[in-house]
Each structure stands twice: as structure tokens, then as C-alpha cells.
Structure 1
Amino acid sequence: MRVTADVKQETRRRIIESARKLFADKGFEQTTTRDIVADAGIAAGTLYNYFPTKESLAMTLIIEALDGAAEDFASTRRCDESLEESLFAHVNAGLWRLAPHRRYLAEVLETALSPFAERSPGGEAERLRLGHLETVGQLIAGRAPPGAPAHSALTMHLYWTLYLGVLAFWANDPSPNQEDTRVVLDQSMRLFAAWLTNGGMRTEERCDVPDSC
């Protein structure tokens, strides 16, 4: 029997919703693929036709949240923001969207996003990283001196390390509404912007052309 595109889409949706619920209720490590299969009401082998690993399923949920955060950031961004203010707003938008996944985010960081993970990042994790860094590169490019490269591998590596540190801190932050994380985020982005300034970047410049900011 031929499986239609609509059936495939519905099956994928059920898998994602089951994983979303189980990860939130039981945690990432405690949730098994059998749990997801049972909750979604599908055959055991069907899950792997859509998601090869549990990590790839978790990354799909996180990417979905961060895609929404990117839209939030784009719709609220101001042209008079400094680089550190834009970076803060960009990351903070992601934290708000990631809130439903906070309980298991630290585990996903260790298994999929960390440069020290035992397994190589999957395609989903790499797409997340590249997409996030593309936006950061665009923010930096608007403040680079004429003729200078927008960013370097070292710049992006430093930023990504700071970003993962903020996420890890936030995932375990016991302060009300994770207020301490916002302090860490603010200090981290100020540090990053200052590092760029010392490297010749003019972070004090402002964007005054709406289409270019």
C-alpha cells in the first residue's frame, strides 16, 4: 500500500508531538524510542524512517524553537542597537523559545552540540550551528571596517563557545525566571564585542539604514 505525502506528514507530526511531551515529562535520557513509538501509535521501525536517532528528534524540536526565535528577533530588532545589544536580543529570543525544552537541553548539549561530544554532531545539529552563526556573522558584518573580513573562524569559534556556555548555564539556572542567565548573557556579549573592538572592529557604530541592519 502506497503511503501518501499527507500520511507521512501526519506520522511525522505525531512522532514530534509525542517526543515533545515525553521529553518534557520524563526527560531526554529517561525517554526511550519505545516510549515514543508507543505514544505515537506507530510501528517500531517506522520511527527510524523519519528520525534515525533520538538525538535527531530532539534537535528537530530545538531547531523548530530557534526558527521561531529567529522570526521574533527579526521582527523586533532596532537599527539603533549596538552590536552587543543585537547579540543579546538574538540569544535572548532563543532562550524564550527554548523554555519548554529547558529540562533536557543540557543533555542535548552534551550529546549533540558540544565540541567535546563523544559522537559527531548530526546533520540537524550542524544546520542549527551554521544557521545561528550566519545571523551572528551578518550582525558583525554591519560593523566591520571597510575592506575588512566580516568575521573569521576564530571569531565564530569564540562566539559559539560563549553561546554554548550561556545555554548550559541557563539550563541549570535556579534563579527566578533565570534572571542570572541574563546577567551572564549580557556580560558575555559585552566581552565578545570588546574582543572584536580590540581586533579592529568598530562596535560603537550604529546602523542607520533600515535595509542594511
Structure 2
Amino acid sequence: MVGNKSAQTRVLVLETALAMFRSKGYAKTTMRAIAVEAGVSLGSAYYYFASKDELVLELYRESVAEQRAAASKVLGTTNGLAGRLGAAMHAGLDALAPYHSFGGAFMGSALPPQSAVNPFGEASREVRESAVGIFTEVVAGTKVPPFLRTRLPELLWLAYMGIVLFWVYDRSEGQRRTRTLVDGAAPLIGKLVSLSRLPVVKPLVEEALELKDRVQP
């Protein structure tokens, strides 16, 4: 019973924080204000989340889970890399859509290398691996050159991160321009992957992968 109450309090703090992020903005929402709005002590709020960054990390975790669930339904009936990639990217944007209003503040919080919400940092490794797993599912069952198959999910995730960055600063209605970008980029990526099997292109792709390995921590 105690464990159930603890879980309920944690959810209450998280949902209160996300609602305040949307209504008041990330910068103006403090841990104290979250505690007051949720009707819990400040100590209780800090017990579940040590900082606003941890709250945003939980949002990241939940959005990835939502993206994965939605994408999996579509991937079961969609063939071809382009279609599957587009479905996964759109599912991710759907999951993030309610939080677009504080996307800029989120990016500011995520930029410091040691930030808990830096998508490339150690603190977010578990969530990042789960996110890359979505693109592993995208690649499964598609025609991808063997030398690229195990490397492609992470590359697709990196491409998706670029899409998210564009989405953060997209002020078009409903982030229409970002959706257009996904609809154009997914087929283009599919064509590039298909071309990578050609003898004249494969060495260039392998060279690019080697460069990535050299610079990646």
C-alpha cells in the first residue's frame, strides 16, 4: 500500500510539473511551485526528482515509450525503409507535440554536456538506447546492405535528433514545416541507403562510418 501511494505521488509530481511547463513555461516553473501546486512538501518533490532536469528526463523517457508504442503499430503493416522511417519519426513528433511551447527552454537545459537531459550524455544513456531501439525495429525486415545494417539504427536516430532540433524552432502552425521535412527526408534517406550497396558508393559510406567512429566518444 505504501509503495502504491509512493508511485502515485511520483506521478502526481511529474504530471503537475509537465502541466506547469506548458502553462507557465520551463524557466518560470520552480521545484517549490511544483510542490505547492501538487500539494506535497518540497522535500517530497525533491525525493522523487532531484531537479527540473530529472523531470524533463522523465518526459524524454515517456515520450520515447509513447513513440515506440505508436510506431510499432504502424510498422506492423508498413513495408520499405522510407515508409517505416517516416512512421517512426512522425510518431516521435506526435509524442512531443504537447510540449512544443517549452522546447526552446528544453534545448537550453539539454546543451550542457553534463546535463541529465543531454540526449548524448551518460545520464540519458538508457533512454537513448531505447530510442535507438525504435530505429532498430524500423530497419528490421527491410533491404539494407549487410555492412550497414547494424550501424543504421543509430544513424537514423541521429537524423531524427536533427528533425527534433528543427521542430523546436518551427513556428509554423502545428509545426507543419517539420512534418513536410519528415515526408521529404524519409524517402531521401531510403534512396541513399539503397545506393550505399553500389561499388562506387560503398567505400564512401564506409569512410564516413570510420570518421564517425574516430570522433565519437
- TM-score tier by shorter-chain length is 0.7 to 0.9
**How far apart are the structure 2 equivalents of 1:67 and 1:84?**
22
Question: Taking every aligned residue pair, what percent have the same amino acid on both sides?
Answer: 25
CA contact (8 A) 1:162 1:188 kept: no
Does residue 164 (structure 1) correspond to residue 161 (structure 2)? The answer is yes
**Counterpart in 2 of 1:140?**
139
User: Does 2:196 align with 1:185?
Assistant: no
Letter in 1 for 2:114: R
Unaligned runs of 5+ in 1: 202-213
Residues 82-101 of structure 1 deviation map (CA, whole Å, 9 limit, x = unaligned):
20111111110121122111
Residue 197 (structure 2) pairs with residue 200 (structure 1): yes
Tell me the equivalent position of 2:172. Answer: 175
What does 1:28-107 align with in structure 2 at a 5 Å threshold? 28-107=26-105
1:7 aligns with 2:2: no
Structure 1 CA distance for aligned equivalents of residues 62 and 182 of structure 2? 22
Q: What runs of 5+ residues in structure 2 fail to find an aligned partner?
A: 199-217
Number of aligned residue pairs: 194
1:60 partner letter = E
From 96, 108, 111, the counterpart of 2:109 = 111
Structure 1 pair 124–18 and aligned structure 2 pair: CA distance change class (3 A): farther
Q: TM-score, normalised by structure 2?
A: 0.76
Matched residue type, 1:150 = R
- Residue 127 (structure 2) aligns with: 128
Give 1:41 deviation, angstroms: 1.8
Letter in 2 for 1:181: T
Measure, in 1, the Cα distance between the counterparts of 2:157 and 2:144. 22
User: Aligned partners of 1:177 and 1:60: how far apart in 2?
Assistant: 24
Deviations 1:43-93 (A, max 9, x none): 222222211221111221232233223222222335452201111111101
Which letter maps to 2:196? G
1:7-49 deviations in Å (ceiling 9; x for gaps) = 2112112201210111001111221111111111222222222
* 46-55 or 82-91, which deviates more: 46-55
For 1:158-205, what per-residue CA distance to the aligned partner results, in whole angstroms no more than 9, with x for missing partners? 43332122112222222222221111112332333233223329xxxx
Could you say which residue in structure 2 is the equivalent of 1:211?
A: none
Runs of 4 or more, structure 1, over 6 Å off, are none
Matched, 1:24 2:19: no
Q: Higher RCO, 1 or 2 (CA under 8 Å, sep at least 6)?
A: 1
Contact (CA 8 Å) 2:144, 2:193: kept in 1 or not? Answer: no
Q: What CA RMSD, in Å, does the superposition of the two structures yield over aligned residues?
A: 2.6
CA, structure 1 residues 57+25, in 2 after alignment: closer, same or farther (shift >3 Å)?
A: same
Deviations 1:117-175 (A, max 9, x none): 332445773222211211212322423558546222xx455433321221122222222
1:60 counterpart SS class: helix
1:150 aligns to 2:145 (yes or no): no
